[in-house]
Amino acid sequence: MSWSLDPIYDSLPVALLLVGLIATMLFTILPPGVSGRRRQGLLLLRGLASIALALVLLRPALVRSDNRPAAATLAIAVDTSASTNLPSDGSEDRWEQQRRTLERLAAGLSDSDQALQVVVMGFDASANVIGESGTSDLQTLTQRVGEIEHSGKETDLSSPLLMAMNRGRNSPLTGVAVFSDGTQITNRSEGSDAEQSDPRREARLVGAMGVPVWTVPLGPPAEASRRIDLAIESLPETFRMFTGNESNVSFDVLTRGIVQSPAKVSLQWIDSAGQTSIAATRTVTPESLEQTTAIDVPVLAPKPGQYRLVASVETRSGETITDNNSQVAFVDVREGGGRVLYLEGTPRLEQKDLRWALGRFLDLELTYRWIPRDTVGAWPIDLVDDFSRGRYDVVILGDLHSSALGDEQLQELADSVGEGTALIM
């Protein structure tokens, strides 16, 4: 128990100054002609007013702290699905591992505050309450858990979290402990409650209530249960290309269970007659146990026709699912098209309009090279690949100094023009 002050303006000096000034005025300024008992009565009333004023300005309070534990609930969810019959580490199955861990938890809670209520829930396709008790009777409750049936065909990890949130409406939750191997298995069809069953979402909702969620993993260590899987994802279903043009093909490579181990990725053309040819190859080296790598591969369109473009990643030993190691895109390759090389030195206003106009034609492949004048120290610029015979159908030269290309590359350009390459200046 202690006294406290809550002065006005949150300032004790200001409150004391106001009390002193007003009290001084009350006792020094008296009406004329007042004496004797009237004077004493007036001073008494003003003294009482000064005391009341001091109480109003200083706002004293007597504070008494009474610490009492509030009733709260700890929710423990145990897995009652058939997956708990799977082996854990060779000496026991996951059900025995779960029961043993629960007994250790009960022993640790036995000395906790008696105001804490523990509710034990079992879950498979849905959640149900096995029992509820105080911490002193928790050992008896754990024995009851060991006797229940655990043969559920589904595992819905969100069901115990939803039940815990419903229990939290009546009694504050101190936490939720979930025993599980972490595998969500539900057989609900699309459009049913399956859309509402998202354990990650429910865990975030419990966390938003300020309630911690503890997960107790069941099963063998991660190294023993590591699953190897390589997959191709996000490859577009269709492409339209023009013969001889270069197009970018983008997709993702998902790798699980391999680290610092290169994986070969390939793109393969398959024509209408079933003939195959390699379009491109890449190598992916994962840096973590689970990684998604974005791949962007330029491919040259073959002769006109209907093709399948197959993106695939190699199959690894120990990989149980191999259907996802490849994806197929259907490609319509048409005649026509042209490849344009645009070399610019000092960008002028018309170059933007020219590039925009050429970009409107899907059958034109435009390559724009800007060679600024501040790179004069590195001239001539190496454009050997660009000036190779047959690489481009049209070459556009903008406001570019001849020294940027050099005599040898200018001669190569002249030879290409002599063989049919168009030149615009």
Topology agreement, domain 72-222 and domain 338-424: yes
pLDDT band at 120 (very low <50, low <70, confident <90, very high): very high
Tracing tokens 């049919």 back to the chain, one arrives at: 420
Q: How many residues does the chain have?
A: 425
Task: Select the more confidently predicted residue: 195 or 401.
Answer: 401
Secondary structure of the chain as H, E, C letters: CEEEECCHHHCHHHHHHHHHHHHHHHHHCCCCCCCCHHHHHHHHHHHHHHHHHHHHHHCEEEECCCCCCCCEEEEEEEECEHHHHCECCCCCEHHHHHHHHHHHHHHHHCCCCCCEEEEEEEECCCEEEEEEEEHHHHHHHHHHHHCCCCCECCECCHHHHHHHHHHCCCCCEEEEEEEECCCCECCCCCCCHHHHCCHHHHHHHHHHCCCCEEEEECCCCHHHHCCEEEEEECCCCEEEEECCCEEEEEEEEEEECCCCCCEEEEEEEEECCCCEEEEEEEEECCCCCEEEEEEEEEEECCCCEEEEEEEEECCCCCECCCHHHEEEEEEEEECCCEEEEEEECCCCHHHHHHHHHHHCCCCEEEEEEECCHHHHHHCCCCCCCCCCCCCCCEEEECCCCHHHCHHHHHHHHHHHHHCCCEEEC
Using alpha carbons, list the distances in angstroms from residue 54 to 14, 50, 63, 368. Answer: 12, 6, 19, 84
CA atoms within 13 A on the CB side of 120: 27
pTM: 0.41
Average pLDDT over residues 56-70: 76
Does pLDDT of 302 surpass 60? yes
Residue 178 near residue 214, CB atoms below 8 Å: yes
Q: Is the pLDDT of residue 200 over 90?
A: no
CATH code of the domain occupying 338-424: 3.40.50
**For residue 417, what are the contacts with CB-CB under 8 A and spacing of at least 6?**
395, 423
Torsions phi, psi for 259 (to 5 deg): -130, 135
Rounded to the nearest angstrom, the gap between the alpha carbon of residue 349 and the centroid of all alpha carbons in its chain is: 43
Q: Do 388 and 415 meet the contact criterion of CB atoms below 8 Å apart?
A: no
CATH T-level topology, domain 229-334: Immunoglobulin-like (2.60.40)
What are the structural domain ranges in the chain?
2-63, 72-222, 229-334, 338-424
108-112, 192-196, 344-348, 393-397: range with lowest mean pLDDT: 192-196
Q: Is the pLDDT of residue 69 over 70?
A: no
User: Contact 303/209 with Cβ under 8 angstroms?
Assistant: no
The CATH code that applies to domain 72-222 is: 3.40.50.410
Angle at 198 between CA 196 and CA 157, to 5 degrees: 115
Q: Could you read off the pLDDT of 234-282 as tens digits, one per residue?
A: 999 999 888 878 888 999 999 988 888 899 999 999 999 999 999 999 9
Q: What is the pLDDT of residue 190?
A: 46
Tell me the pLDDT tens digit for each residue of 344-389: 988 888 888 888 888 777 677 888 899 998 888 889 988 888 887 7
CA nearest neighbour of 285 among 310, 312, 265: 265
